[in-house]
Structure 1
Amino acid sequence: MTSATPAGPPPDLDLAFSLQSLADTGPSSGSGLVDPLRGADLWSAHLAAWLQQLQEELPAPLQAPAYSLGLELCDDPAIAELNRSWRHIEGPTDVLAFAAQEEAPPLPIGELAGAGETGLELGDIVISLDTARRQAISAGHGLEAELLFLASHGLLHLLGWDHPDDASLAAMLERQSELLEATPP
């Protein structure tokens, strides 16, 4: 079902990138993905490449030449508040995804108001840098690898993937691995 070389050009991506004001960000954090100046461009490249890879397997209403989504990197207290408010779970988590297409059936891009300017709205991904750092250390890899893993997980959730059981989780993790293997440098 997946393809190593996706057909067609990558979709346009309107990314709203937000980096919460944190003490340990920028070039000294070890990853351009958390650089307030370069981060948006790097994230846009990764997310557009993933959307291009996923294009042929998406349901027709989610196949679009352009997308819009938000990505916020925050700290544990901020994500803990979102986790409590939206999931009724206390404490921080690593990533949250707020899908825009959950409530109603998605509309083809041409039927969306202003679609020519912003693309199909997918929703928002929120990642805790604090939790990502701890998980990266625990897994024995760098912060950038952990952030890409969490963002790919969040993107799949925005596109309708879920993991209510072990088999669904295994399938989702496998698809994430495929996305990450083809991630541009």
Structure 2
Amino acid sequence: MELLIQNRSRLKIDLKKIKRWVSLILKKPGYQDSEISILFVDDEEIRVLNKNYRGKDRTTDVLSFSQLEEVKNSKLQTPNSELLLGDVVISLETAKRQAKKRGHSFEKEVFILLTHGILHLLGYDHEGNRKMAHEMRRMEREIIEFSHE
């Protein structure tokens, strides 16, 4: 796996732990040998990105910019093929607020957001298609459960 991680937020995050998490997240759907970049930002930077790329002038927790044109299922690529998946951008400020609101740790919230963002890179979506949204939520639960085995 080739992984580029950058933290442009004032909040600190353990980058070695992020690398382990990304590897773990990609293992379940069989994409361990993929290329991916993760960018941690503040609320203002993610708001600008959300406005520029999605037309929504507000903060969000995670954005994904997939390099795949279409992935119909997670078995499309062989496990050993190299594949440029894309970029995941996470607001650590939003993650911190959400963790407090949901009653779990900041690290767990970042793991959940990484899982969500990476599944978007793999072609999963939760907007506009109930069946796909259900499949995405199922996959998120499986990865989170798998990570705690």
Compute the TM-score of the two structures, normalised by the length of structure 1: 0.69
Q: Which residue of 1 aligns with 2:43?
A: 76
Letter in 2 for 1:183: S
Q: For the structure 1 residues 138 and 167, does the alpha-carbon distance in structure 2 shift closer, same or farther, using more than 3 Å as the test?
A: farther
Q: Which residue of 1 aligns with 2:2?
A: 14
Q: Distance in 2 between matches of 1:175 and 1:145?
A: 17
Within-5 A mapping of 1:16-165: 16-22=4-10, 24-25=11-12, 34-35=13-14, 39=15, 41-55=16-30, 66-102=33-69, 119-163=82-126, 164-165=128-129
Superposed CA offset, 1:47-76 (max 9, x none): 222222112xxxxxxx6x621110011100
- CA shift, 1:158, in A, is 0.4
- CA shift, 1:21, in A, is 4.4
1:174 to 127, 131, 138: 138
Q: Distance in 2 between matches of 1:95 and 1:122?
A: 16
Letter in 2 for 1:174: R
Identity among equivalent pairs (%): 34
Deviation larger for 44-53 or 89-98: 44-53
Superposed CA offset, 1:127-159 (max 9, x none): 001111111111111111110101000110000
Show structure 2 runs of 5+ residues with no match. Answer: 71-75
Letter in 2 for 1:154: G
Show structure 1 runs of 5+ residues with no match. Answer: 1-12, 26-33, 56-62, 110-115
Secondary structure in structure 2 of the residue aligned to 1:126: strand
Q: Distance in 2 between matches of 1:100 and 1:168?
A: 19
4+ long deviations beyond 6 Å:
none
Alignment length (residue pairs):
143
Compute the TM-score of the two structures, normalised by the length of structure 2: 0.85
